Amino acid sequence: MIDKAELQAQIARTAQQVRAANPMAGSITNSVTINFVANAQIAVGGSAAMVYLPDEGEFLANAGGATYINVGTLLPIYEETLPRTARTLHELGKPWVLDPVAIGIGSLRTKLLAQFKEFKPTIIRGNASEVIALANLWQVAGDGGASQVRGVDSTQAVDEAREAAVALARYTGGAVAVSGETDLVTDGETVCLSHGGSTFMTQITGSGCSLGGVCAVYAACAETPLAAALAGVNVYNLAGARAAARVDAPGSFQVAFLDELYKATPQDIANNPFEAEEA
């Protein structure tokens, strides 16, 4: 497993490099939080572009430093767009982030998520229920446990998804980030537990989606998928805690949170409290 100090150095370099290079991370994402995803990606130093059509997804896969795919509000054309985009990313060896939002709802979602197994996302980001459900769908865990997805919210705790997250990361060779009160990030070898954030993050829509988009921005510059995912999780925990200290309600929180994403320095992000342990 990787040493914590080395991981922190990687995180700091990643965040620094993103600020310097302004990498473009295209997204195919849901319409509920699409604006928040773009603004969060820009706030940490990236550039955003969103599309729906198949050849446009392929274009962004080629042109971007990384790509974010979120299956939130599926449109009929996604049956073509998402596999073509993911295939392009996989063939080019470009980093991409998968957010399996609301896995289990509807036949197209299940079909698309099953197809993605072949294209091995660099980072998978979800809540505990979603990560367990994806591990089950892909049959990568001996016994991932039963997933309890209710709409888009998790009904399970992060540590229940540890085995599934490790198994998914070992299968993809990338990283998996499980969002919750304490966030778990793993590459199948090291498991990191990142602290901070705020309950207000569950009282606005889009903190999970936009974290996925930010992980894609970091993945465009990071040395490893683990460093990219943990950089994203750390800056979210940092900005969430700082924003929560300044406000008392979710409308103000959303504004303050974007501000704090923008203000977080590479060193702040690397220093956000986390532990690293053997998987």
Site for its own copies, rule CB under 8 A: 24, 26, 30-36, 38-39, 42-43, 47-53, 55-56, 59-60, 63-64, 72-77, 102, 105-109, 150-153, 203-206, 248-252, 254-263
Can you name the residues that pair with 193 across neighbouring β-strands?
184, 275
In angstroms, the CA 208 to CA 195 distance is 15
Distance in Å, CB of 8 to its own copies, minimum: 25
Q: Whose Cβ is closer to its own copies: residue 55's or residue 118's?
A: 55
Can you name the residues that pair with 177 across neighbouring β-strands?
125, 185
Distance in Å, CB of 127 to its own copies, minimum: 13
Q: Whose Cβ is closer to its own copies: residue 152's or residue 193's?
A: 152
H/E run at residue 194: strand 190-194
Distance in Å, CB of 186 to its own copies, minimum: 27
- Distance from CA of residue 208 to its chain's centroid? 7
Please, which residues have CB within 8 angstroms of residue 120's CB and are 6 or more apart in sequence? 90, 171, 172, 173, 174
Please, which residues have CB within 8 angstroms of residue 4's CB and are 6 or more apart in sequence? 274, 275, 276
How many CA within 13 A on the CB side of residue 149?
A: 18
In angstroms, the CA 87 to CA 262 distance is 33
Q: Whose Cβ is closer to its own copies: residue 25's or residue 169's?
A: 25
In angstroms, the CA 261 to CA 39 distance is 10
Q: Whose Cβ is closer to its own copies: residue 8's or residue 70's?
A: 70
Q: Whose Cβ is closer to its own copies: residue 71's or residue 167's?
A: 71
Distance in Å, CB of 43 to its own copies, minimum: 6
Q: Whose Cβ is closer to its own copies: residue 34's or residue 227's?
A: 34
Distance in Å, CB of 269 to its own copies, minimum: 16
Provide the residue type at 115 as one letter: Q
Pairing mode of beta strands 24-28, 47-50: parallel
Distance in Å, CB of 95 to its own copies, minimum: 16
